[in-house]
Amino acid sequence: MEFEWDERKRAQIINERALDFVSAHRFFDRRPAIHQPSLRNNEERWKTTAQLEGTFFTVVWTWRGEAIRVISIRRAHAQEIRKFRETYDR
């Protein structure tokens, strides 16, 4: 699976959140994850929430051809964590 991103946005997120787009591949490594559509400005985007090293994170992404284009990565919001737990903690 191929990943791409805007390097300026990556640097901004590293600076602001200490998170790196390089880790986005971990959201797609077959670990439990929730994928939800997240339309913005008529662009089909997705939010994927997964647990990494004991903490929940969400990556926002879209398809660009065959590649996943990473738009953002952040700590997951409470409702995203709740949705994850409703799905997997049964």
- Residues with Cβ within 8 Å of 72's Cβ and at least 6 positions away in sequence, in order, are 9, 13, 59, 60
pLDDT 10s digits, 20-41: 999 999 999 999 999 999 888 8
Q: Is the pLDDT of residue 90 over 80?
A: no
pLDDT category, 89, cuts 50, 70, 90? confident
Class of CATH domain 2-88: alpha beta
Alpha helices in the chain, H assignment, sequence order: 7-17, 78-88
Give the start-to-end residue ranges of the domains of the chain: 2-88
The per-residue pLDDT of the chain, averaged, comes to 95
Instruction: Give the Å distances, CA to CA, from 34 to 7, 10, 15, 45.
Output: 26, 23, 26, 14
